[in-house]
Amino acid sequence: MGLASDEVVVVQLGKKPDEPSIVTVNCPDKTGLGCDLCRITLEFGLCITRGDVSTDGQWCFVVLWVVPCSPKTDIQWTSLKNRLLSVCPSVSIPFYPDLGSFPKASQTYLLKLFSVDRNGLLHGKELLHTKKRRDETCEKLCSVLGDSCISCEIKLAEDFHQGFSSLPPPVAEELFSSDLSKNQNCLEAFSPDSTRVKKVDVAIDNSLSPSHTLLQIHCIDQKGLLYDILRILKGYNIQISYGRFMSDMKGYREIDLFIQQTDGKKIVDPEKQEALCSKLKLEMLQPLRVIIVSRGPDTELLVANSVELCGKGRPRVFYDVTFALKMLGVCIFLAEIGKHTTAENQWEVYRFLLEERTEFPLSNRRTRIQIVDKVRRTLMGW
């Protein structure tokens, strides 16, 4: 007897508004599955408060306790379940008669909107993939914009190319530097609690299991933390046999992961251990890079995040940045999204050319620090 598709992903909603909902996934295992599940969870505006994962290398069982990142977030639970199902590996037809109908990976769509400009215009839109939902999106956009909306259209971007203007070398060096001490703008955004934020402990122990390496991480809680950790492990092609993700009730997270290489062996090479620990520490301190620079006479905000090997970037970055700018009353003149490749990583880069306002002078250093701080804290969920 196999599992029906309804048993592969089970969502149990919290009985009270402040009670976590429980997402259970029971399916064949694959390297990087946990990363995929956490990315989708983050994309739907959910934070993982607790997590457990176990696998025998063939079959895995994942339990995630989740809450909305914002109380105003309206979670589409049915869509979430379908998206989670879409990344679960299928088995033969006798076991999973319904898996053939799971939704495929989303395609790129082009939204064309012509309207009168206003503060917050680029914040709060979703692109939907069926005609009915495209029409619903346009209707919602037009209703929000009112008489200022002239036309709205969503279509499949079949000839979409990710063109992206190059970054000046000094800007690229500041944005992508692996030495955090060189990035003064980002470090200033840590204040006033920089000591707590910069406390990251990563340890590897090979003495507790004959066949697994224990990876222990202790760091401040932040939005997408489990996704960032599993994204890095996926990039190193590391498999998780058992994992636990807990809170110590002081704003920190304790993560214990029993891991293996794809050959089923422990990680015993000191160089591999050091590379993994260094990468994890760097990404825990700065999963997103945020700086503000001068672009001729104008001011530009840049936000960058590492891209997975499959090319997928971090969810909801555009949403969070535009929300933060809207809360500050800062208007966006031009927004651009593209990819940038360095020797170590591929990055997704968001560039926002900001409008100068008399009441919010962008040339002022204090104002710039305030913008970086607000954007970073919104992205990190602080």
Indicate whether 327 and 307 sit together in one domain: yes
What burial class does residue 96 get, using C-beta atoms within 10 Å of its C-beta: 0-12 exposed, 13-18 middle, 19+ buried? buried
258 C-beta neighbours (distance < 10 Å), count: 22
218 and 264 inside one domain? yes
Q: Within this chain, do residues 260 and 300 fall inside the same structural domain, yes or no?
A: no
Nearest Cα residue to 165 out of 22, 25, 351:
351
Give the tens place of pLDDT for each residue, 24-38: 999 999 888 999 999
Q: What is the CATH number of the domain that holds 89?
A: 3.30.70.260
Report the number of distinct structural domains present in the chain: 4
Residue finishing a domain among 238, 254, 285: 285
Task: Report DSSP state, residue 195.
Answer: H
Q: What is the pLDDT of residue 93?
A: 38
CB-based contacts of 294, cutoff 8 Å, min separation 6: 300
pLDDT at residue 342 greater than cutoff 90: no
In a domain, 270, yes or no: yes
**Together in a domain, 256 and 113:** no
Q: Is residue 188 in a domain?
A: no
Q: Which has more pLDDT, 203 or 140?
A: 203
pLDDT tens figures, 35-67: 999 999 999 999 999 999 999 888 999 999 999
| Whole-prediction pTM | 0.79
Q: Is the pLDDT confidence value at 79 over 50? A: yes
* pLDDT score of 158: 58
**175 and 317 inside one domain:** yes
To the nearest whole number, what is the mean pLDDT of the chain? Answer: 81
At 154, give phi and psi (nearest 5°): -125, 130
Domain containing 170: what range? Answer: 166-183+286-382
Residue 358: what pLDDT?
78
Q: And the tokens for 355?
A: 């409008």
How far is it, in rounded angstroms, from Cα 186 to Cα 376? 8
pLDDT confidence of residue 291: 94
Q: Which residue has the higher pLDDT, 273 or 341?
A: 273
- Which pair of tokens denotes residue 278? 């260094």
CB-CB contact of 53 with 29 (8 Å): no
Read off the pLDDT of each residue in 1-6 and give the average, rounded to a whole number.
Answer: 57
